[in-house]
Amino acid sequence: MSVDTSLRFDKDYVNGFSSSRQEPAWLQELRLQALELAQNLPMPKPDKTKIDKWNFTEFKHEATGNPVAFNELPEDVKALIGSEEEAKNVLVIHNGTPVYFALEQAVKDQGVVYTDILTAAKEHEDLVKKYFMKSAVSVDENRLTALHAALFVNGAFLYVPKNVELSAPIQAVYYQDDEAALFNHVIIAAEDNSSVTYVENYLSTNENTESVANIVAEVFAGSGAKVVFGAVDNLAKGMTTYVNRRGRAAKDARIEWALGQFNDGNTVSDNTTHLIGDGSFTDTKTVTIGRGDQKQNFVAQIFNHGKHSEGYILTHGVMKDSASSIFNGITKIEHGATKSHGEQTERVLMLSEKARGDANPILLIDEDDVTAGHAASVGRIDPLQLFYLMSRGISKAEAERLIIHGFLAPVVSQMPLESVKKRLVEVIERKVR
């Protein structure tokens, strides 16, 4: 494979990009260093998926959106966040520009910081500096993480102080209707004994023009903190996506992931949680539908470092048409993580002869005193089930629709958030029609 050394974006460009946004010096410097790394680092190598023909590096970088009032938001976006009454804590970013923002005074009064990440980099420089691509996702992991640091356009920063428990979810919508790339960065830092729920939606409309999404989310749960992270990815066919969602849980912390991965384009997705502290806990639930001829690679992985730490992975995926996906679940129990527990289930249902699904549960255990388990299944739709449903007058398409909903229901019904559940059912509905 030839290494593409001539990135379209050079030092002058990145310098100018950063300056034009009045970014603090440390960020500008970080971007420039990252750019250099991007020129030399190799591409990521997802297991069993060849991505050397995928375009992650050629794209239009900048686009703009215009700030709007709530009722001027596109209907698609309003459908995601609810009414103005409901959407009290929400950030909407359109083509990289924050276009709508609301945060309750009561939330602000508790010292919560929620804002777009550029504003945060200026107004809460130390906080952002502390977390940005330091320990969850590193700049120098590969060419794409470096490129992300060099060129990320916007994102969200959520900081919850010690002992603050937020009941209402904090929402974000990132939508793109320009062919420009979507480089988004999210940081959630929940200090000791705090509790927060964050729900994000990715949306794009570029069916035919080629574009790139390079997304990073970093979640930090302090001692005894709880973070529920819901995400529904719904990027259009033209988007080739590389997304990393990583969490680090301190002592007795809890991170719950509820992910609906419904991109229509080629996607490489990594969801990794490090259970650093003793007694920490994570639970990853994901549902996926692949369709058309898209190729996807999903990794859900959990590292148990702390004693008595617990990690759970539950993935259900449906592959239609000639879509193909790799699902790797990785439970890594480190030496010294005594009494820890890991459990994972991956299930894949294929609807057509040409669809491909591959589920690989992987347990890597370097400690004796632990418990772990896994289950995986890959299968085609049962013709007798179809016959049974059709024998009641239900058409083949409708029967398949019911079977898909049914197959995904055990995960959807366990999702920790009603709004995410509802949204997942809607997206599934649209995808199976």
Partner 1 sequence: MSAPNLKIEDLRVSIEDKEIIKGLDLEINGGEIHAIMGPNGTGKSTLSAALMGHPKYEVTSGKVTFNGEDLLEMEVDERAQAGLFLAMQYPSEVSGITNADFLRSAINAKREEGDEISLMKFIRELDKKMDHLEMDNAFAHRYLNEGFSGGEKKRNEILQMMMLEPKLAILDEIDSGLDIDALKVVAKGVNEMRSPDFGCLIITHYQRLLNYITPDKVHVMMQGRIVKSGGPELAQRLEAEGYDWIKEELGIKDETVGQEA
Residues that bind partner 1 (CB under 8 A): 382-385, 387-396, 398-399, 402-403, 405-410
For partner 1, the closer of residues 53 and 433 by Cβ is 433
For partner 1, the closer of residues 48 and 396 by Cβ is 396
Strands 113-116 and 154-160: antiparallel
Minimum distance, C-beta of residue 259 to partner 1, in the bound complex (Å): 19
Minimum distance, C-beta of residue 380 to partner 1, in the bound complex (Å): 13
Minimum distance, C-beta of residue 433 to partner 1, in the bound complex (Å): 14
For partner 1, the closer of residues 339 and 405 by Cβ is 405
For partner 1, the closer of residues 360 and 385 by Cβ is 385
Contacts of 245 (CB under 8 A, 6+ apart): 215, 216, 217, 219, 229, 231, 257, 259, 269, 270, 271, 272
For partner 1, the closer of residues 21 and 405 by Cβ is 405
For partner 1, the closer of residues 292 and 406 by Cβ is 406
Minimum distance, C-beta of residue 327 to partner 1, in the bound complex (Å): 19
Minimum distance, C-beta of residue 404 to partner 1, in the bound complex (Å): 9
For partner 1, the closer of residues 367 and 398 by Cβ is 398
Minimum distance, C-beta of residue 406 to partner 1, in the bound complex (Å): 3
**Separation CA 414–CA 409 (nearest Å):** 8
258, 317, 389, 401 from 382: Cα distances, Å: 28, 16, 11, 13
232, 245, 260 from 374: Cα distances, Å: 25, 22, 21
Minimum distance, C-beta of residue 354 to partner 1, in the bound complex (Å): 19
For partner 1, the closer of residues 274 and 401 by Cβ is 401
**Separation CA 239–CA 210 (nearest Å):** 6
Minimum distance, C-beta of residue 348 to partner 1, in the bound complex (Å): 15
